[in-house]
Structure 1
Amino acid sequence: TSLLNCSYYYDMKHCCYKHDSSVMARMQKKFWKTKQVLIKATGKKEDEYVVASDADLDAKLEFFRSVQSTCTELLKVIEKYQHRISRLSQEENELGLFLRFQADHDRTKAGNMMDATSKALCTSAKQRMALCPPLHRLHQEVETFRRRAIADTLLTVSRMEKSRTEYRGALLWMKDISQELDPDTYKQLEKFRKVQAQVRGTKSQFEKLKNDVCQKVDMLGASRCNMLSHSLCTYQRRWLNSVGEWLNCCCSFDRDC
């Protein structure tokens, strides 16, 4: 019985020791991760070689942020443009109707001028309003692109940034241990190997997400080009047609006058 009790006590003590070591390792991992977050938040200078190794990734991220911000700005501009087109067309049409009403009661040359001007204004208002459907379509496509493509890429970027923080935190941890490492001390060497394995694991995960981000950003840029080429070509054709109609209206106005 005493032997069984001793064996049980040894097993419990060994389990508690492993548990304590595991808890300590998790705490140390969180400590170095938090330290890396603080370094980034405060703008403190990081290891130049580590930063340089991510230069291609940072260039992709800069391009992604540009796409993200310009899409948001484009949506705002389209909304303002549509609103102002509608208001201007409404004012033009009302002025044209007013001049037409006055022309009906004036049989002089001035009446002819008002009638011709009213036709030009009403035609211009009609052609201007014809720009709204392609603009509305452009707004829908940009909004869909922002909500789906950009949001999906942003999610991958967020996961990558989290993984990069963990990887760089592990590098800080390994650097700290290596400065006090004594190769003749087994415990220190074993601890260094565990941290080294932690660095390898976080690096592998970070590299995978890094490649995913780079690929998605490239696809995002290509998708944006295709979307804008299609949508803006439709708007451009409609605009050129409107300009042609407006020029015909001006020629007709000259003849009537």
Structure 2
Amino acid sequence: MRPVIRTSVLSLTALLLAATVAACSSPAPVKDAPDAPDSSSTTGDLSDFSPYYPVAEGNAWEYTATYPDPVGIVTYTETMTKVEQDGDEVRATIARSFHYENGMNPDFEQDVEYVFHEDGSLTVPYQSLPDTSGAKVTVKSGELVWPSTKEFEAATPKTGTIELTSEAAGVSLDLSAAFTITGAGVESVTVKAGDFESRKLAQSIEISVPSLSEETFTVDTTTWLAEGTGMVRTEIPGLFGAGATTVELVKFTPAS
């Protein structure tokens, strides 16, 4: 495998994890979505709008992510800073702050936006950011969309494709990432924040680099989601001989 392809795949793995972490929350039992408020722009607490995610200004999460060496442990926080009604959708801004415990990379902050739809589906940011493998991946088109509540309950896959560009070592490559996201039952999970009865979400992203190789690379992610809390654990198996990456919830603080 060419080194630039390996670097690009590792970069996309990091982006997959970034997209997974803040977006996951447990769907409630299937129910009709409530009517959207009359106002086209309402801020504050819209918890009842979405059965898929606790939506309220001030919700905060603390996580610990463990990457293979040499990255090690990354701690980060997420805070929902803005919630806005936009027609039949709700847009929420989440401020994220990352800290590399070994100082390998500088700390950084970013804001991302999630879009909640009336059917319970959720558009999450497959955001562009530099990662420890030395590449920068930029999204050109496409969106990562989580299943609606009914799709999750029925284990109906949500699929789509994201087109990206990866820049590493002076080389720019076009990549394609085809994703499949499926509900996978309920399991008990123990993490630093406590014990949770959690729904299991299986994600698979098939990455291809058409200009260099016909070979494809599949990245599988498993995420456990506790109702009323959100994502409690995420796992990505190791690639190219590296160890697995895990993320665990340390603390969830609901809006007061």
Q: Name the structure with the higher helix share.
A: 1
Asked which structure has the greater RCO (Cα within 8 Å, sep 6+), the reply is 1
TM-score by length of 1: 0.20
TM-score by length of 2: 0.20
Larger-Rg structure: 1
